[in-house]
Amino acid sequence: MSQDIIADTLNQIMNAKRASHLTVSVKHNSKFLMNVLSIGKLHGYIRDFRVNGKMLDIELGDKLNACLAIKPRYLVKHDEIMKYVRRYLPSRHMGLVVISTSQGLMTHHTALEKGVGGSIVAYFY
């Protein structure tokens, strides 16, 4: 396990997806990870997640094809967001990029609407 909880969790989710598992249990959790998973749940990539003691149980959604952390976490202005969307997503209308802004975590769609930039954290499709 590395120091990056987001990258470790999303890698474990992808490993469970490749092994055709419907759930995955993760040892570490944080508020930031919960917010990233909430965005995935809101868009149907994660079915549900809950904390059981120190473990975090995550149920994978049917819509999930891939989810990974973006490293390094690039700082982007609002007019540069589409460059990274084209880099990480297979199609402009498929998937989402999670961006950490001064107004909180949001998808790239919301960041473009609000005209804010930030740090690119992860992507789901």
Express as a percent the part of the chain with pLDDT over 70.
99
Cα separation values, 112 from 17, 38, 95, Å: 30, 20, 15
pLDDT of 3 reads 86
Same domain, 56 and 72: no
Tens digit of each residue's pLDDT (9 = 90 or more) over 62-94:
999 999 999 999 999 999 999 999 999 999 889
Domains of the chain: total = 2
Q: Are residues 71 and 56 in the same domain?
A: no
**Measured CA distances, 26 to 5, 47, 106, 113 (Å):** 10, 15, 23, 34
Query: What is the predicted pLDDT for the residue at 52?
Result: 92
Same domain, 55 and 85: no
Residues 71 and 119 in one domain: yes
Q: What angle do CA 115, 117, 120 make, to 5 degrees?
A: 135
Judgement on whether residues 79 and 45 belong to the same structural domain of the protein:
no
76 shares a domain with 31: no
- The CATH number covering residue 108 comes to 3.30.1490.10
* Count of helix runs (H) and strand runs (E) in the chain: 4, 8
Do 111 and 79 belong together in one domain?
Answer: yes
Report pTM: 0.93
Domain residues for the domain of 82 are: 67-124
* 34-56 per-position pLDDT tens digit: 999 999 999 999 999 999 988 99
